[in-house]
Structure 1
Amino acid sequence: MSTFHDPATAHQPYKDPTPLPAHVPKVQELGTTSAPLKSAAFFIGAYCKEYNEDFMLCKGENRDPAHCLKEGRRVTRCAQDLIAKMRENCLQEFDKHWNCLELNNQGLVKTIPGTPEGKTPIHEVENPIIRGVQK
């Protein structure tokens, strides 16, 4: 069932007016935008691997969103913990990286170290000639 969303308030984030049931424990949101999440994604994947795997296995068992709320809260708490540790230990580097992503439209550019200057990198060659391997 969909709810009416007034176009006059389109600039504000949508908040579902339906509250969660009382038996579902509350968990705080991460409190970050997409750039810090993308910056920390590699570390979140490694640090929260067990929780992510449990969540994905749960989602594979049952597609009902309510079925995996407990596992989802664990993933969220783990990500909160990691982001707090990153801010505590390497705030300058973390801020520098996600601000760079934010200012460059979150684009990542592939570069291969050691590519001779003036030559086109192999991943950008339009029609590379691929020869069979001789035995």
Structure 2
Amino acid sequence: YVEPKPLSPSIPEVKEVGATSAALETASFFLGAHCKDVNEDFMLCKSESADPKHCLKEGRRVTRCAQDMIRKLKANCETEWRTYYEAYDWNNHMFQSVRKEEKAFSECVFAKLGLEKVVTGTPEGATPIHLRPNPMLK
């Protein structure tokens, strides 16, 4: 595919994140935690204007933040992450099928980067699904 209308040369180019959907989805909770502020700035900018050019600066920040987190995951937990996202990919992107690999990855990220997986919408005092002894949705 060739973009029929490339961006103006005045707009600096930013490299793509460079990860598969499985890798991004399995890292999504940590990407969200690590990049929370820049993501919120981007979403606020998007709500202010329908013009895509209006938020290019914020979009580049989101991309750079994701790239930074991916570099940190590779440097600190590459083996656990690769095992997790490959299993996730082989299991049709079904989280409930790869809880063992997810746990090893989450423990590594917490131990080495200090980030904890937080599942939004988990009721107060309830054990999050990924920490339950039998983590199946009913």
**Aligned CA-pair RMSD:** 1.8
1:19 equivalent to 2:38? Answer no
Deviation, 1:15, is: 3.4
Structure 1 ranges of 4+ moved more than 4 A: none
Deviation, 1:63, is: 1.5
Q: How does 1:1-135 map to 2 (within 5 A)?
A: 14-109=1-96, 113-114=132-133, 124=138
TM-score using structure 1 length:
0.72
- Residue 117 of structure 2 corresponds to none
The one-letter code sitting in structure 1 at the alignment partner of 2:80 is E
The one-letter code sitting in structure 2 at the alignment partner of 1:84 is R
CA distance change for structure 1 residues 111 and 70 in 2, over 3 Å: closer, same or farther?
closer
Cα displacement string for residues 54-95 of structure 1 (whole angstroms, at most 9, x for unaligned residues): 000000100111110000000000000100110011100110
Return the structure number with greater helix share: 2
The count of aligned residue pairs is 105
TM-score using structure 2 length:
0.70
CA distance change for structure 1 residues 48 and 111 in 2, over 3 Å: closer, same or farther?
closer
In structure 2, distance between residues paired with 1:56 and 1:46: 15
Mean Cα deviation higher: 106-115 or 19-28: 106-115
Structure 1 unmatched runs, 5+: 1-13, 116-120, 125-135
Identity, % of aligned pairs? 50
